[in-house]
Amino acid sequence: GENVEQHPSTLSVQEGDSAVIKCTYSDSASNYFPWYKQELGKGPQLIIDIRSNVGEKKDQRIAVTLNKTAKHFSLHITETQPEDSAVYFCAASIPKSLDKYIFGTGTRLKVLA
């Protein structure tokens, strides 16, 4: 079945620097890749997503890139701010399984002021 690996598990950056989180997936049929931000004690919040027919998508300081051949996708956050500190999860959608998501293991991002 589908497996999603996410790296790194923790990431500390100085305020203003960039942060990059990477995920790889195993099922070539996956066609939708959302990224979620989860703050302590809250539910995950969608921050950006990308479909398999697109290589890159950007929304202000956040961007996502997708390499279908290599089956990996990455989240890029530029000009990081302390409020970006949270746990970030990537996910891959499985179209053969009612569009269920397989989640990565999460990355705890700390932005140091």
Partner 1 sequence: GAVVSQHPSRVICKSGTSVKIECRSLDFQATTMFWYRQFPKQSLMLMATSNEGSKATYEQGVEKDKFLINHASLTLSTLTVTSAHPEDSSFYICSAQNRLPETQYFGPGTRLLVL
Residues binding partner 1 (CB under 8 A): 32, 34, 36, 41-46, 49, 51, 89, 93, 98-101, 103-106
Considering the complex, state which of residue 19 and residue 91 has its C-beta at the smaller distance from partner 1.
91
CA dihedral of residues 89, 45, 56, 102 (deg, nearest 10): 40
Q: Give the per-residue SS3 of 12-31.
A: EEECCCCEEEEEEECCCCCC
Tell me which DSSP letter residue 68 carries: T
Q: How far is the CB of 46 from partner 1 (least distance, A)?
A: 6
Considering the complex, state which of residue 9 and residue 18 has its C-beta at the smaller distance from partner 1.
9
Considering the complex, state which of residue 18 and residue 46 has its C-beta at the smaller distance from partner 1.
46
